[in-house]
Structure 1
């Protein structure tokens, strides 16, 4: 069975590798990763790590690594096809039924007509036809990202897993990818022939280098220019939707008298085109290629390939092609846009795989607010702990393209940094709709919030933190202040340590324990934080949903240490530091990483054995890389 690469990619996108491996291996969350004992070799200390955002696993002991497909093949000793059938069934994606599905990326080419009164050439005529030139695939250079590098090596390529012989195309069959590449080159060559098209790009402020980088082109006004340029490939062009047939039976080209934006997939292959009318009176202003066997609009983002190629760190979803191009020209390489469709869960997951911090830009008008609300409802189920979403509402009369051209890069970046987090955006959105100074208005806001909060993942702390954030903003909760024995506190040497902040966070937000759980394996159990973590481990499943009740619950469970806890909570003023739920989650993750590093270094000073020393060094090296990646993304 030959399975198309886009189908394999779609199955992997819909497979949660943590859930899949978690059914076979006991995993514990450690910051952004999950760790456990490797199932491929015997070990006592966990060196097997799973990265949800990269959909990748790696063992630092035996070097086993790969994606969900590789894991199931190795753990069950099954072949590629059997594993793909299971994953396809679980994700609801249909696999090709037979080898002839490999024909989906090919089409029948017409035989070239011999020129009159010219003797036949011994050379294959197709070798000189512009429309039949085979353009080599984009060379995949080595990527230094350790979580993606494995995909670039042949041993992890999915091609070797296609055990049955793939369909062998006859000599007169064409390939859609080759045809689309040739059409892209044709449109590029037409651009210098059109003064109007060149003027349009100049008017939009694009340099010659930018036009070349994005391979921008021009589609002539001739209704049959593609038929004339590619006479042997008309069937393929029709299957791609670039040639249409009228009700009267006459063929015509879809894109005419428009500037052209080639659209590339994750491998850099041209899979479709966007066309923008030169005259604003022409409707629709933008036309995109229709979906085909190689072009799936709902699974692609314009600019994603280019952004990854430029090693973008910060990602911003905008509305149109020109926004993406203008931002890239100005130095912002992580801008992407949907292809004439509304954003969906697949689009957001693609970007969350690049970085757990994502921003979405919207126009400031009513239509933009409506789009923001719709995107909000799509995004909420995807907001697992550690993910952060910001809403960048454009100033009035501006889109990202015009804002950066008229106000400059510095202003754009400043406004981007000031964009509200999801929690602040939701509160602003709902408080505009209701009178939050009245009990009735507050009740309506909380009712709306509860409906939105139900869309959040059941696991994790964000749902709980968001509700608590709203209650405090609306003045629902009377601030609880611990009663402190001042005489006892006089003996304290006032010094705020990372442990103190961690303890204060756990008292005020007990659900943040999921970030600190990893410390239980390396912390001294006699330390106060060790005692608190041990207590939380026992009672975590019984914590009340309400924040104030949960705080009383954990304080009651930790009553033997109540004097120390009360002093720490007052001194750290953790309520002010963790008011926004995203900030509470972020701080908990940061303090957890810092404490992990501290305790691993302490244990390395007096290891029990050489084996433990080696394992501790591996953990510390991995932690250092994780901290470095986090700092790089901030």
Structure 2
């Protein structure tokens, strides 16, 4: 029979347990000052009177009169005995429960945590000994105080520096610090010649590292591998430091992409920044963020890749937006990331940009509106079809109602029509896209552009505002846009891979253009013989410009015809397009 569980183990287990994380996995909580609030899980109350205190690591339920620590909550909520609740917490922490007078089992997670803590101390000490690492941080503008606050260190350019420092290597291997050699033998250091950024969990424990190379390693940044302690999709760099920087509720959290972005923003007084760890934003990330604040600010580059990343984040965040939660998108000027921008413009101007960031509704409807011609019935119908799967991800509530209202205005429909579309659970067919074949009409501009791209796929990089091409409404332009989009996403693609990817009638049409021995009657001889590379570049640029001009004109005409009903976002777009048209006329 197992003996009594030592009090010291229970105390240590409670210290390891984050009661907010434990209860938040079972009860929906919302921050209220320094505490979190929700509906009682023990009664059927209508208004929240259940509180969780991160500082006290206790819960208080004024509806039922229950309160206690993590063990008490599990006993009440999961209907467990005391021993069963302790065993459940131990399982979550990765340790086995010892019993007095009996066998003391091996502690699974203590070793890796100790190894990571020792490694952090080692890397911090090495930073002071290596001038090249200090010089790199100074060059990036990082002060000694900031480096100390974030625990930044350095891994020497050695295969065994950390291995020699750690007395026991098994735990370091489990923590992802060392790598085992194939066939046995002494393990070696995973991180070498890298500035090291420790990644902490919600309790401040180091659970992994990110390392920035100072050499020519093709992997500029290297993260710890997935371990029982460290999961890239469930952890955020800088979250612990952001929580420690204030005793009040966080007004928002800024999600950036790099370690240095978080560090430099914090150094400038913007301590609310966190970074994903080399992966896209996940639902787990968002649930973690919204436990700390009601507003999330996504900060991305303003280029095509940045907008694509923003769209992926939008898709993940939609189901998490309810009860006053807010999400906005801030796009950076060309050539800047948060690190360089805050150093150039300062904290006040950076925060002003946050205040001007695009709300999720504006970003969603604006991006989808650019893909259609709102001046036509077909375009407005397509917009509704494009928006439907995104609106369906929103929970019933105020935000979904207001977005349906805005979509109804854009589509010139009643909100009841939008709601009916959302309520009808029949699958929405994809918008019909013309599939050019030899018998279908394709404009000369589009045909010629496709011919050139089949010979020079790299020229697709010249086209930036792809959505403006689609607005031109020339015959077959949707195929050209699809071709350019594919080549943007696959810069190494050839004509053969493009044709295979599109397939069907589209692929057959492109195949015919590619394999034709002579050009269309407009030209009368093979393309490769008629013009050289320089001629192709100039001609394609001219064709893209003509299509872009037509797209701008179509969009401007739409805005002029609906001037009384435009939103602020549409008015801004109208002004930008007018300026673009003036620049084109001036340049021409």
Paired residue secondary structure (1:218): strand
Of residues 164, 187, 207, the one that matches 2:123 is: 187
2:235 to 290, 294, 300: 300
TM-score, structure 2 length as denominator?
Answer: 0.60
Distance 1:173 1:68, change over 3 A: closer
Q: 1:468 to 1:81 in 2, by over 3 A?
A: farther
Partner of 1:398: 336
Tell whether the 8 Å contact from 2:95 to 2:109 is kept in structure 1 after alignment: no
d(CA) in 2 for partners of 1:70 and 1:453? Answer: 40
- Does the alignment pair 1:282 with 2:244? no
CA 456–418 in structure 1, closer or farther in 2 if over 3 Å, else same: same
State which of 25, 38, 41 in structure 1 corresponds to 2:43.
25
| Distance change >3 Å, CA 289–CA 25, structure 1 → 2 | same
Cα distance in 1 for residues equivalent to 2:132 and 2:188:
22
Q: Which moved more, 1:190-199 or 1:166-175?
A: 166-175
Distance 1:356 1:80, change over 3 A: farther
Q: CA deviation at 1:462?
A: 2.4
Give the deviation of 1:385 after TM superposition.
2.5
Match of residue 522 from structure 2: none
SS in 1 for 2:95: helix
2:95 equivalent to 1:102? yes
The answer to whether the 8 A contact 1:385-1:462 is kept is no
Q: Which one of the candidate residues 204, 209, 215 is aligned to 2:151?
A: 215
Q: Of the two structures, which has the highest relative contact order with CA contacts closer than 8 Å and spacing of 6 or more?
A: 1
Matched, 1:252 2:245: no
Q: Which residue is equivalent to 2:260?
A: 322
CA contact (8 A) 2:404 2:418 kept: no
1:79 is the counterpart of 2:57: no
Distance 1:334 1:317 in 2: 9
Structure 1 portions without partners, runs of 5+: 29-33, 36-47, 89-93, 104-161, 479-508, 510-542, 548-575, 581-634
Preserved contact between residue 53 and residue 354 of structure 1 (Cα < 8 Å): no
For residues 557-607 of structure 1, the C-alpha deviation after alignment (integer angstroms, 9 at most, x for no partner) is xxxxxxxxxxxxxxxxxxx9x999xxxxxxxxxxxxxxxxxxxxxxxxxxx
Query: Do the aligned residues in 2 keep the contact of 1:17 with 1:50 (CA within 8 Å)?
Result: no
User: Structure 2 residue aligned with 1:15, among 26, 32, 42?
Assistant: 26
Answer yes or no: is the 8 Å Cα contact 1:317–1:337 preserved in 2.
yes
Call closer, same or farther: CA 1:49–1:237 in 2, change over 3 Å.
closer
Residue of structure 1 in register with 2:387 after alignment = 449
User: 1:264 matched to which residue of 2?
Assistant: 200
Structure 2 distance, partners of 1:330, 1:14, is: 34
The 1-side partners of 2:383 and 2:312 are apart by 18
Partner of 2:285: 347
Shift in alpha-carbon separation, 1:74–1:237, aligned structure 2, 3 A:
closer
Q: For 1:19-418, list aligned pairs within 5 A.
A: 24-28=42-46, 34-35=47-48, 48-49=49-50, 58-60=60-62, 64-65=66-67, 70-71=72-73, 73-74=75-76, 78-80=80-82, 96=91, 102=95, 168=104, 175-230=111-166, 232-247=167-182, 249=184, 251-279=187-215, 281-311=216-246, 312-418=250-356
Q: Distance in 2 between matches of 1:333 and 1:178?
A: 28
SS at match of 1:433: coil
In structure 2, the partner of 1:460 is 397
Tell me, what secondary structure is at the counterpart of 2:336? coil
CA distance 1:59–1:414, change in 2 (3 Å): same
Contact 1:53–1:356 (CA<8 Å) still a contact in 2? no
SS in 1 for 2:358: coil
| Residue-by-residue CA offset, 1:72-111 (whole Å, 9 max, x unaligned) | 63478642565699xx9xxxxx9949x9x526xxxxxxxx
Pair 83,328 (structure 1): closer, same or farther in 2 beyond 3 Å: same
1:119-156, Cα deviation, whole Å (9 max, x unpaired): xxxxxxxxxxxxxxxxxxxxxxxxxxxxxxxxxxxxxx
1:307–1:333 Cα contact (<8 Å) kept? yes
The alignment status of 1:421 with 2:359, answered yes or no, reads yes
Q: Please state whether the residue corresponding to 1:354 is helix, strand or coil.
A: coil
Q: Is this contact kept in 1: 2:39–2:50, CA < 8 A?
A: no
Distance 1:81 1:378 in 2: 38
CA distance in 2 between counterparts of 1:163 and 1:76 reads 22
Separation of aligned partners in 1, 2:295 and 2:53: 14
1:451-490 equivalent positions in 2, closer than 5 A: 451-457=389-395, 459-477=396-414
Residues 126 and 153, structure 2, Cα contact 8 Å, conserved in 1: yes
8 Å Cα contact 2:122/2:162 also seen in 1: no
Cα distance 1:79–1:371, how it changes in 2: closer, same or farther (>3 A)? same
The CA RMSD measured in Å over matched residues stands at: 4.1
Distance 1:544 1:52 in 2: 42
Change (3 A) 1:468 1:69: farther
Give distance in 1, aligned partners of 2:103 and 2:228.
16
3-state SS of 1:271 partner: strand
Instruction: Give the superposition deviation at 1:290.
Output: 1.3
CA distances 1:264-294 after superposition (whole Å, capped 9, x unpaired) = 1111111111110013x32110111112232
Residues 452, 363 of structure 1: alpha-carbon distance in 2 compared, 3 angstrom cutoff:
same
Change (3 A) 1:26 1:408: same
> Aligned equivalents of 2:357 and 2:54: distance in 1?
23
Q: Please say if residues 212 and 221 of structure 2, whose CA atoms lie closer than 8 Å, have aligned partners that are also in contact.
A: yes
Alignment partners' CA distance in 1, 2:363 and 2:82: 45
Unaligned runs of 5+ in 2: 30-36, 422-564, 570-588
Cα distance in 1 for residues equivalent to 2:309 and 2:260: 19
CA distance in 2, matches of 1:11, 1:172: 20
Change (3 A) 1:194 1:456: same
* Structure 1: distance between partners of 2:358 and 2:418: 29
Query: C-alpha distance in 1, partners of 2:42/2:243?
Result: 33
Map Cα deviations across residues 463-500 of structure 1 (whole Å, 9 max, x no partner): 2221112212444349xxxxxxxxxxxxxxxxxxxxxx
The Cα offsets for residues 333-354 of structure 1, whole Å up to 9 and x where unpaired, read as 1100112222111111111111
- Write the distance in 1 (CA, Å) between the matches of 2:295 and 2:20: 22
Deviation at 1:51, TM superposition (A): 7.8
Q: Do the aligned residues in 1 keep the contact of 2:19 with 2:69 (CA within 8 Å)?
A: no
Aligned equivalents of 2:24, 2:113: Cα separation in 1: 22
